[in-house]
Amino acid sequence: MDATAHLHLSHLIYSDWTLIESEFNPTQLHYKETVFTIGNGYLGTRGSFEEGYPGARNSTLIAGVYDAVPVVYTELANCPDWLGLIITIDEERFRLDQGEILSYERSLDLYQGLLSRQVCWRSPSGKILELDFERLASLADPHVLALRCRLTAINFDAPVTIQAPLSGYIDNQGYSHWQWIDQGYSSDNPHIWLHLRTRASAIELGMACSLNVLEWGAERVPHQESQSEYINLLNYPALQTRVNLIAGQPVTLEKRVTVYTSRDVANPHEVAFSKLDELPSYNELKTAHKKAWADVWTNSDIIIEGDIQAQFAVRYNLFQLLISASQDDDQVSIPAKTLSGFGYRGHVFWDTEIFILPFLTFTQPTIARNLLSYRYHTLNGARRKAKSENYKGAMFPWESADTGDEVTPRWAISGNHYDPDTRIWCRDREIHISADIAYGIWHYWQATGDDQWMRDYGAEVILDSAVFWGCRVEWNSREERYEIRHVIGADEYHEQVDNNAFTNRMIQWHLEKALTVYQWLQENHPVRADELAVLLKLTRERFARWQDVINNLYFPFDATTGLIEQYQGFFELEDINLAAYEPRSLSMQVILGIEGANQRQVLKQPDVLMLLYLMRKRGEFPYNKTVLQTNWDYYAPRTDITYGSSLGPAIHAILAADLGETELAYHYFRQAALVDLEDLRGNAHEGIHGACAGGLWQSVVFGFGGVQLTNSGPVATPNLPSHWTRLKFKLHWQGQWHEFDLRPLSSEQIGGVIFDLDGVLTDTAEYHYRGWQKLADEEGIPFDRQKNDLLRGLPRRESLLAILGDCTVTEDQLQEMMERKNRYYVQLIEEITPADLLPGVNELLEELQQKEIKIAIASASKNAQTVIERLGIGHLIDVICDGYSVQRSKPAPDLFLYAACQLDLTPDQCIVVEDAASGIDAASLAGMLTVGLGPVERLGKANLVLPNLENVHWADLIAGLSPKAKANQWNLPVAIS
Amino acid sequence: MDATAHLHLSHLIYSDWTLIESEFNPTQLHYKETVFTIGNGYLGTRGSFEEGYPGARNSTLIAGVYDAVPVVYTELANCPDWLGLIITIDEERFRLDQGEILSYERSLDLYQGLLSRQVCWRSPSGKILELDFERLASLADPHVLALRCRLTAINFDAPVTIQAPLSGYIDNQGYSHWQWIDQGYSSDNPHIWLHLRTRASAIELGMACSLNVLEWGAERVPHQESQSEYINLLNYPALQTRVNLIAGQPVTLEKRVTVYTSRDVANPHEVAFSKLDELPSYNELKTAHKKAWADVWTNSDIIIEGDIQAQFAVRYNLFQLLISASQDDDQVSIPAKTLSGFGYRGHVFWDTEIFILPFLTFTQPTIARNLLSYRYHTLNGARRKAKSENYKGAMFPWESADTGDEVTPRWAISGNHYDPDTRIWCRDREIHISADIAYGIWHYWQATGDDQWMRDYGAEVILDSAVFWGCRVEWNSREERYEIRHVIGADEYHEQVDNNAFTNRMIQWHLEKALTVYQWLQENHPVRADELAVLLKLTRERFARWQDVINNLYFPFDATTGLIEQYQGFFELEDINLAAYEPRSLSMQVILGIEGANQRQVLKQPDVLMLLYLMRKRGEFPYNKTVLQTNWDYYAPRTDITYGSSLGPAIHAILAADLGETELAYHYFRQAALVDLEDLRGNAHEGIHGACAGGLWQSVVFGFGGVQLTNSGPVATPNLPSHWTRLKFKLHWQGQWHEFDLRPLSSEQIGGVIFDLDGVLTDTAEYHYRGWQKLADEEGIPFDRQKNDLLRGLPRRESLLAILGDCTVTEDQLQEMMERKNRYYVQLIEEITPADLLPGVNELLEELQQKEIKIAIASASKNAQTVIERLGIGHLIDVICDGYSVQRSKPAPDLFLYAACQLDLTPDQCIVVEDAASGIDAASLAGMLTVGLGPVERLGKANLVLPNLENVHWADLIAGLSPKAKANQWNLPVAIS
């Protein structure tokens, strides 16, 4: 990415499904641990090495296993490390920080969910060893983890000691959450187990592990020499085996691990233990695992052709989301950094409902439902938060963990002795989260039609947080309006603002939906409606108050300009020119300071634009394209999209695509797609940017795919980046799968080109002008070239009426004048010769004929036939449609549809070349691709605008029209579980 | 202790040098780990078990090995655990949480510095094993640690696996500070090593370890079967050995460990490794260690006889201080919780200079000097702190660690989601620390005469912090005085006060000493004086300003009452009656809340009284006994001595002793002495209360020993608790050792008893009254029994003058009246018979005669001879001294001195029994012990007050007089290193 200073040589090779790291660079240790994270929704394990590495940040995070920690209240506890495989030849331990790496390749196969590594290593004493690792976190059975290593001695025979430990000594950036309870060994079917408990939350964890040594190629046949021995170090049990390695004779080590917590079962260590006993072989585990992945990809995959890095990056981000989302636990949600790192401590933000959820709502609706049920299950925490601030109802926490209580730290504690600590105000002020959750619920309901869940879970969340909004708004009696003061909006560079447009509109929207939901309940589920009325104290007066708030909540919108003020007073801040700070590699908040950013018109992330995006889906207020363009022009240049929030780029990509700026959209898309893979922001080591990954899916489907959610389901109006040759994905909507297979224009698709005549092939317009001029002169009507320009594309009658203006004439006079002018014109065009062909026309027509592309002329002129003959191109034209062909003239599509029909082509097989705006409109209405010749001001609506046809070849037309791909869309029946 | 609710059955048995825990109680695990801490000044290791225990808080803290940690900036990093010894019989691991403990005894031998434990354990399968552990942290070589375990199988033969690991997996209450660098094994002289580095401060640590298995009784002869094997688990290397244990044949395991950090040497792991190679046997290590301890105790011991718990407790507290104080590192100081626990994170407070330092100044002056040099070495941190608050000079941090920068956390972060965090204001406001350090330096200098250190180190600290004071004071022009506002004084219950008496006077004192020190430098070390003048910008104007501050700094003292107001406005706070809150087991701050305590006249710890104690040593302003009594009466009842600060009890003990309230002093002494041993405050698990231990030494030496520091050296005026039979200690003063051997009164010391006659042996007073009454009646002077009472103890002439009052008579008339009254009296006493002896007198006199205690009568009466004969006790009396014997009557001491002389005894061999206050005064002036008969109101000055002699025996007198011990004091020459 050229836009970033964090560029480094990542040694990554992208293929469609597989990422290959071709070289080991210790300075990238932690970022690559994040990149090579695997998981199964139950847990995530960072891509640390089996043999360890100094300073490595091994982590296995299990969804929902939180434990108390100072300052930030609670965090996902790093669980015992199951990766360890220690291989010692004589007294030399295999380790990449010593000896020499002769070859190295690490690869992540997204389709199979497998992480593997091939290393050829020379020990300090010169022994050369080949190691071939592979690991998986089973998607078929999330309590099963497995890894395998094939060892081959290259130039030595020697005894090798292999240890497979379970390490209870594991910490979160130094903080260790586990207390040892017990450990043990069973010699029957040799395995060890470890039983721990979190310090404060008292969640118990049981892990068991076996180690098998197999002759290469043998399956479940133990290696003769090997015999498992128990190393009983406290909190660090290990199985140890010795084999004599013979040069060239590979040996395979298999470590299989089971893990349960007391969140899953009552006696996790016993269940882990007995589960291990009945576990099939590594290969069988792998087969089941691969099948599970194939099933998931069937629904969630996105195919992109023509852009291998984008193809991989999109799949990679979806993979990272899929391994963070529990298949069946509705008491957990997806943390901001997924299960892949310690950033944000495993806390859950609006990232889930606004950024990540759509991907799951539309491709894995069961998981989406679980994520929303998590908010239902944590309602009591949200109620405690509201109560702590003396509000009624449910006030969801900005950061949420196991209970729904607020876990945003109050302070960013300074490590410096004398610098002040920084108060983190989000916990107090970034209140829009409750509306974001309602937004997620509402759209899940709209997409799935899951009425039962809405009745039993969703409605209570929407309604009780609406109760909170009813208390949170303030009545300004001087202005006679409701206001919401002292908030942080979506843009976090401004920490204490009044009447933030995003917040106010989201809350208004939330209250609207709350009333709708309650009305729906009353009509369809009156018992539940009554139940909630009692539980949440929903009275007629309360509903009336909500309506009053909806009607009178202030929204800082200038209807004349269409410009929305981010919050009251934003436009009075000092303006900023971000370009003046380039090049930079720091956020504007770091550059300006918190107060400096606060005082300027600079945004960390989209705020008004975020609102416009969210309201775009159903075209709700204040969304419309003009408002979008106006606010985009104002806010986009003031947004710190590179180093502000990672939530920004994908949203900007969608809006840029909406505004037709596909290449700019692609630029933002890459910023989102590669944020972790290429560590664009230098913080990938903290874990995957989950919201960014979710936004990426939206940018592909809603941005490039141009999917709109209509009452009859999702419809694509794609805007593909120019080099994408295919975009294919599935969406689940109201119980049905909709498959979209979007391809750009290809020459094979196009069967014919329909040319306008005047101003396109020849300048007959000049002859028309001369005819009209003569007539006008005779009639004494003022007329000149400038007025003539206004007639472009108009048929004869309309042209004459335009010339006559206010002059009243009879129909007979009118007819006479048209005939007279036509007479003059026909006389004039008698003078036309092939030299009157515009530059490039002949060459293009000949090329088309050669390529067997049919050619039609569609002209409003009734003299088209004559003109074409005079031009000497009659032999190149297949069909001539003229003023006699159809009744309705352009901008009605009739003439082009007639032409297509004459060519025996469907409209989507036709390209229209026009020089008039009305012609472009007509062609668009006909469903044809359009090429406008002339100035963009006039022809901006055309799919492709060219000055003229000089040097224009068939390939240029196809390439130029490619971004406007064609959608193929199928609806498939589906069962929602 | 009856005063505490934290009382529990500690299962502790106290002997003079050894503490024995007779039972293992898992609920006391952490508190006892603190209690059984061992160390050597370089490091401290808590008394955790070698075999581990669930939830154990093993810790080894090395002085100065700090590492960054959130919120509290830095803390002593818990170092790798060297204790581990894992013993497995078949598959049963020795562990106290399973199987059955058949017997258990843990003991700490202070004299030898050895912790041992004898356990007889039955495994779950019934194998009975005896284990006898012993461990030491060598005082002879602080980098050496060693432990030994003798194993005896009682009822089985079986193979036993023994593992001796070094565990790099160690944390501070969950936070782990170490990054693994490397580890290894050497098979030559089998040992393992571990090389780590702290995460942030990058201090490297190397530890090496060997394991020997010996036949019992064999020395350095390896057990035949045993062979050390290397277990190479990452960050957890271990040596493993197997032996076949035969019932009744003990085997000894010896684990020897060496430890170095990069604070000590460049390559700590290599030095640890080679050091281990040349290490002598366990027994040799132990011998050197014991010798080093014997040397330390020679100077630092305190002998208390008659109170075995007090004897042990005092030694225990000194032991804990001695193992926390580095022998030779002058870049470290003693943390508030020593090296024994995680409380206060290893930070250094005023606890060191004010509470702990005197013990070391007077018994280990080299260590005291190192502790003060630590402040010199951290001056730059103090300068940075001053600069951060825009002051000049050095502002020492309230909490200090490695750099001298402020490390007091800003916040006590609430663990609850909605409770506010508590701002810790000490870092900003508890500024008296800088004066406390000057106080420690000054008194070190006074005690040692270490001029060279003062010149090179101490003076710069005193002067640069005086520069800070010069900026910190504020001039109040309305009051025309300097003030110091916005402080926390010694009492931390009041967080924002102006003109705190303690702070203001300490600062004034500091400035006085700063001027003195600079003058001394100018006179004795002019080069250094000039050097410092340049370095610290010490100008004539600055000195003049200091003098101005000294002269005009406000001190809230009412000279008429002698009462000092703790700070401006304190007396206007709501008063408190602490008794009304009893019984309680919480601090008053917890009961009242921070604001509640702040608004009341309740103290966490002595503040005015602390000042009076600190100024007591040289009798500096405002100290005098009247002021002390006045302020004691006011502040002592308002001080939360039980659950406020542990700094309080020892100071109260000293002041109570000063005020003659020895039993009350003893009550406070016990609160200090047992705070950790009996976990009086319920927080011993956090580590030893170092300041309390230091205060305890002061309470014994300055309180009970009554040591005053005079210009001619320390002088004892002891006030021993009644049951103490001996108090012996040494003090180092100006290059000489002063040995104090203080013993209470013993019967052997006393040679005679001198009795007053009237009101003591008989009621001749009645006869006197009748004589005077008759005379008064004859002369017409009003007189009655009430007036007669006023004559008690007066000689005849003074009695008559008192009766006459304003009546003027000639000398002749006076003589006549005296004779007349005497005549009447003599007539009256003719009636006296042995029946007039007061109850108990005869028995006591006979007992004295039997015990060969000489008896004298010392009466102002000139008829004593007669009375004694009439009473029939003449045969029991050795000497009668009467109105004829001496010129000056009581309260002159003459009569008693005459009597002693007659008895051939020195005054200190005599006890005087009196019924009159003037008689008690006379006897005190004579230097004799006094027994007062009658009401305390009259006789309060007597050493012992009894109602009369009924049932009083010799032993009662001796016991009653015992607390007023006699001091024997020797001065010994000594070389100061």
Give CA separation, B827 vs B771, B774, B820, in Å.
9, 12, 11
**Binding annotation of B for Mg(2+):** 756, 758, 914-915
Whether residue A971 is predicted with pLDDT greater than 70 in this model: the reply is no
Intrachain domains A745-762+835-965 and A764-831 with the same fold = no
Put simply, the answer to whether A417 touches B384 (Cβ < 8 Å) is: yes
Closest-approach residue (CA) in chain B for A50: B234
Whether residue A216 is predicted with pLDDT greater than 70 in this model: the reply is no
Query: In sequence order, what E strands does A18-157 have?
Result: 18-21, 38-39, 43-45, 60-69, 73-78, 86-89, 92-93, 100-109, 114-122, 128-137, 144-153
Per-residue pLDDT reduced to its tens digit, B345-355: 999 999 999 99
Q: Find which of B417, B423, B428 to mutate to test the A interface (most A CBs within 10 Å of its CB).
A: B417
Q: Which of residues 22-81 of A touch B (CB under 8 A)?
A: 52, 54-55, 68-71, 73
Judged by a CB distance cut-off of 8 A, whether residue A176 touches chain B is: yes
B676 is catalytic: no
Confidence of residue A432 (pLDDT cuts 50, 70, 90): very high
Average pLDDT over chain B reads: 92
Domain B745-762+835-965: CATH superfamily, name plus number: HAD superfamily/HAD-like (3.40.50.1000)
State mean pLDDT over A187-195. Answer: 90
Query: Does this complex have an ipTM over 0.90?
Result: no
Whether residue B5 is predicted with pLDDT greater than 50 in this model: the reply is no
Judged by a CB distance cut-off of 8 A, whether residue A384 touches chain B is: yes
Per-residue pLDDT reduced to its tens digit, B448-462: 999 999 999 999 999
State mean pLDDT over A496-521. Answer: 98
Please give the pLDDT value at position A53: 93
State mean pLDDT over A571-577. Answer: 97
Confidence of residue A973 (pLDDT cuts 50, 70, 90): very low
Whether residue A746 is predicted with pLDDT greater than 80 in this model: the reply is no
Whether residue A219 is predicted with pLDDT greater than 80 in this model: the reply is no
Query: What dihedral angle (degrees, nearest 10) is formed by the CA atoms of A935, A937, A943, A949?
Result: 0
Confidence of residue A965 (pLDDT cuts 50, 70, 90): very low
State mean pLDDT over A437-457. Answer: 97
Has A186 been labeled as part of a binding site? no
State mean pLDDT over B102-115. Answer: 98
Contacts of B236 in chain A (CB under 8 A): 169, 233, 236
Please give the pLDDT value at position B975: 36
Has A791 been labeled as part of a binding site? yes
Q: Find which of B233, B240, B418 to mutate to test the A interface (most A CBs within 10 Å of its CB).
A: B233
Cα B793 from Cα B791, distance rounded (Å): 6
Whether residue B226 is predicted with pLDDT greater than 60 in this model: the reply is no
Judge if the upstream peptide bond of residue B583 is cis by omega within 30 degrees of 0. Answer: yes
State mean pLDDT over B218-224. Answer: 49
Whether residue B205 is predicted with pLDDT greater than 80 in this model: the reply is yes
Judged by a CB distance cut-off of 8 A, whether residue B118 touches chain A is: no
State mean pLDDT over B97-106. Answer: 97
State mean pLDDT over B801-814. Answer: 86
Contacts of A50 in chain B (CB under 8 A): none
CATH number of B764-831: 1.10.150.240
State mean pLDDT over B855-880. Answer: 90
Task: Give the DSSP letter string of A286-320.
Answer: HHHHHHHHHHHHHHH-EEEES-HHHHHHHHHHHHH
> Which residue ranges make up each domain of chain B?
13-298, 421-639, 745-762+835-965, 764-831
Per-residue pLDDT reduced to its tens digit, B267-300: 999 999 999 999 999 999 999 999 999 999 999 9
Radius of gyration, CA atoms only, chain A: 34
Confidence of residue A977 (pLDDT cuts 50, 70, 90): very low
Whether residue A974 is predicted with pLDDT greater than 50 in this model: the reply is no
Per-residue pLDDT reduced to its tens digit, B891-917: 889 999 999 999 999 888 899 999 988
State mean pLDDT over A544-558. Answer: 97
Per-residue pLDDT reduced to its tens digit, B925-938: 888 888 999 887 78
Q: Which of residues 738-767 of B touch A (CB under 8 A)?
A: none
Per-residue pLDDT reduced to its tens digit, A656-667: 999 989 999 999
Instruction: Tell me how close the Cα of B199 comes to any Cα of chain A, in angstroms.
Output: 9
Put simply, the answer to whether A169 touches B55 (Cβ < 8 Å) is: no
Fill in the DSSP letter of residue B371: H
Please give the pLDDT value at position B969: 52
Please give the pLDDT value at position B1: 36
Confidence of residue B520 (pLDDT cuts 50, 70, 90): very high
Put simply, the answer to whether B415 touches A68 (Cβ < 8 Å) is: yes
Please give the pLDDT value at position A5: 37
Please give the pLDDT value at position A3: 38
Please give the pLDDT value at position A972: 46
Please give the pLDDT value at position B747: 73
Per-residue pLDDT reduced to its tens digit, B362-407: 999 999 999 999 999 999 999 999 999 999 999 999 999 999 999 9
Residue B165: enclosing H or E segment and its boundaries?
strand B158-165
- Among B756, B836, B894, B921, which one carries the catalytic annotation? B756
Whether residue B93 is predicted with pLDDT greater than 50 in this model: the reply is yes
Cα angle at B141 between B338 and B116, to 5 degrees?
65
Strands B144-153 and B128-137: antiparallel
Put simply, the answer to whether B68 touches A415 (Cβ < 8 Å) is: yes
Q: Which residue, among A55, A1, A62, A63, has the nearest Cα to A29 in the 3D structure? A: A55
Whether residue A968 is predicted with pLDDT greater than 70 in this model: the reply is no
Name the percent of chain A lying above pLDDT 70.
Answer: 96
Please give the pLDDT value at position A713: 78
A607 is catalytic: no
* Partners of residue A972 on adjacent β-strands: A737
Take residue A362 and report the two structure tokens written for it: 């539309």
Instruction: Tell me how close the Cα of A376 comes to any Cα of chain B, in angstroms.
Output: 19
Query: SS3 of B190, please?
Result: coil
- Among A428, A756, A894, A921, which one carries the catalytic annotation? A756
Put simply, the answer to whether B406 touches A385 (Cβ < 8 Å) is: no
Cα A758 from Cα A752, distance rounded (Å): 19
The third-level CATH classification (topology) of the domain covering A13-298 is Beta-galactosidase; Chain A, domain 5 (2.70.98)
Nearest CB partner across the interface for B405, out of A406, A411, A417: A417
Instruction: Tell me how close the Cα of B182 comes to any Cα of chain A, in angstroms.
Output: 8
Put simply, the answer to whether A418 touches B407 (Cβ < 8 Å) is: no
Q: Are B54 and B253 in contact (CB under 8 A)?
A: no
- Among A330, A758, A882, A921, which one carries the catalytic annotation? A758
Nearest CB partner across the interface for A86, out of B73, B181, B232: B232
Per-residue pLDDT reduced to its tens digit, A20-54: 999 999 999 999 999 999 999 999 999 999 999 98
Please give the pLDDT value at position B336: 98
Per-residue pLDDT reduced to its tens digit, B733-781: 999 998 888 877 777 788 999 999 988 998 877 788 888 899 889 888 8
Please give the pLDDT value at position A962: 66
Q: Which residue, among A381, A334, A326, has the nearest Cα to A357 in the 3D structure? A: A334
Query: In sequence order, what E strands does A756-875 have?
Result: 854-858
Please give the pLDDT value at position B963: 52
- Among B464, B758, B836, B921, which one carries the catalytic annotation? B758
Please give the pLDDT value at position B862: 82
Query: SS3 of B953, please?
Result: coil
Please give the pLDDT value at position B962: 66
Put simply, the answer to whether A413 touches B70 (Cβ < 8 Å) is: yes
Q: Which residue has the higher pLDDT, B942 or B252?
A: B252
State mean pLDDT over B547-566. Answer: 96
- Alpha carbon B679 to its chain centroid, in Å, reads 17
Cα angle at B359 between B357 and B365, to 5 degrees?
75
Confidence of residue A222 (pLDDT cuts 50, 70, 90): low
Report which listed range, A614-623, B8-17, B239-248, B384-393, is most confident. Answer: B384-393
Determine which of A794-808, B92-106, B641-655, B889-903 has the lowest per-residue pLDDT on average: A794-808
Determine which of A125-129, A611-615, B171-175, B752-756 has the lowest per-residue pLDDT on average: B171-175
Please give the pLDDT value at position A780: 86
Helix/strand/coil (H/E/C) assignment for every residue in A473-530: CEEECCCCEEECCCECCCCCCCCCECCCHHHHHHHHHHHHHHHHHHHHHHHHCHHHHH
Q: Which of residues 71-110 of B touch A (CB under 8 A)?
A: 71, 73, 84, 86, 88, 91, 93
State mean pLDDT over B498-516. Answer: 98
Per-residue pLDDT reduced to its tens digit, B21-39: 999 999 999 999 999 999 9
Whether residue A908 is predicted with pLDDT greater than 90 in this model: the reply is no
The third-level CATH classification (topology) of the domain covering A421-639 is Glycosyltransferase (1.50.10)
Contacts of A199 in chain B (CB under 8 A): 174
Fill in the DSSP letter of residue B80: P
